[in-house]
Structure 1
């Protein structure tokens, strides 16, 4: 699955740099075209000529050593890459990437590339568990970077524990499996996430407790499967995964407009946003002042985005969400049929650990064709994987 792939291997300064030479050889044997970028520290452990001989490509070590005067070197390499692998990735390189620092050829190319990045950490066991390193890795994970977990064993520093660079054979196998799993390659996926806000006056609005976590998890997982992802989101405090096209909206009407604008060109549409069903009929340009007695807000219906998508459906595979507190399956089935959906994800938000704001969720996945899949309580990222796997089965016409 790596045959013909253009892969950039970033090598940073750790003793595990010697394994990067073996990794280069095995990637070339697997059919990949490999270009290597080395940091100054990496060159203290292994010479660039080693990688040049193994890759049969020039090795990049200096941002300002332009090999072709007609191109800007780090931009050209960044655009060239289908895949970007950091092996070994030191704590320093991970920290630089997590904080947007670009002071050498490797870090500048990393910030410029739009290719999927796979990070294979290698460091002392205590460095690997340091809060700063863990925080940087968590940030990169949220941004959509992929991690290749280090192994456990005897480390060069003399300690025994987690921090040893994964073996080259295992890294190649993982990359091949990743390429094989790009089942949504060439597909355009449109996802909605988060709440909407419906204004009363400049300082007050109606909203709901949706965090957007489920929609963002779906976007991350769709991207990992090779999809071209557009994410339309309400106001949330979440980081956009690298490689995803994000469109920010505030109101239900704005979400309606953006979703309809991108609907025709989409192959899979997943409406995970919690959109307001009603908005204030009358709004005020200036802050309402407190008055004696009660105040009544008259509400009017917002446009039903999901129903409109169901009416306009052509080739799209349309998935809706239903957040229910009682008669969960009954209401979910009604929504599936009434809104002309291909599938629906039903959440019982009254259950512990499920629904708005949580990092976990459980669901019942129902399809128009009669497929029923119970998805037990798990992380929202894992649930997103399950939902997309079921959608892929449906699109392929597979039976249970």
Structure 2
């Protein structure tokens, strides 16, 4: 029987999970899977062992309204039945918002759980599902240690000026600051950058985490110095359903002049905007790229335009650019989006090798490019597993 750490990465309509050997430093999962379409038509894809065997099947036995709690419960029950060769010793969770309190991975107890609940309003699409997974494990396997790993931690030590809003100081003192997100993804990229860039990995790097949720992070010395997301995961780049950066006056206008309730504005900005709102077609970039609808084309154009603008802003903070890295669903899989954004960074010295980009190669810059262009798969689950192993070795928390 193999002792394993279970990782749970709960999204708004998905659940990624993996089993890692419990020893610290383990980088290859024994099993990795994902359930997509939660709430509509759940589908499971799983990958086990070194042979990279992929098994995909509709979860016909799961009702369309199945919850994250139900799925986590099923996973743990299977580990105690069908997959008894694996013995869970701990569960690590991606928790989107750590607020001003949590600087690093921490073991979840009742006090921590209450504090995480208080942060739900700051990440309404994700935090409830994150905590639902925690509660499901507590119910079915209360003896298992659980560790929270935060998307905000990687940005916690940014320069103070990068964190502040120009609001009354009392609000900043209360924690109304820029936190940044996708930190587990950025932590992975920072960890593996030396493999691809050598000493240049410690230079001026912008990482573009482009998926249904999207953000960018400026790194120097492989540490976050600025990022596009702020107080919540609504800020910054245009996303699948979220609007990204928005003049606060628009919100006031919608409430004061259009008579919209705050809850309706909230719903629109988080669920009806972004690629979906502009295109009127889909929040899925693959669907938009295949569409002939001019509104779909405009949504893609705006997505790329906003990304290019943010690269300029982050490059200004860094004082130049040595590497531009693409990761996450769109960044890893859309050669067209990578090409358009990289072309927008030509003024910084980026030169694209179009054929290498089409082939999906890790490095797709031309020989005369002054900026390295890289496509690197993210691995949030691996970061979680190693953080849990380290936290357990330390007896609970590691900041």
TM-score by length of 2: 0.25
Q: Which has the higher helix share?
A: 2
Q: Which has the higher strand share?
A: 1
Identify which of structures 1 and 2 has the higher relative contact order when contacts are C-alpha pairs closer than 8 Å and 6+ apart: 2
Whose Rg is larger?
1
TM-score by length of 1: 0.25
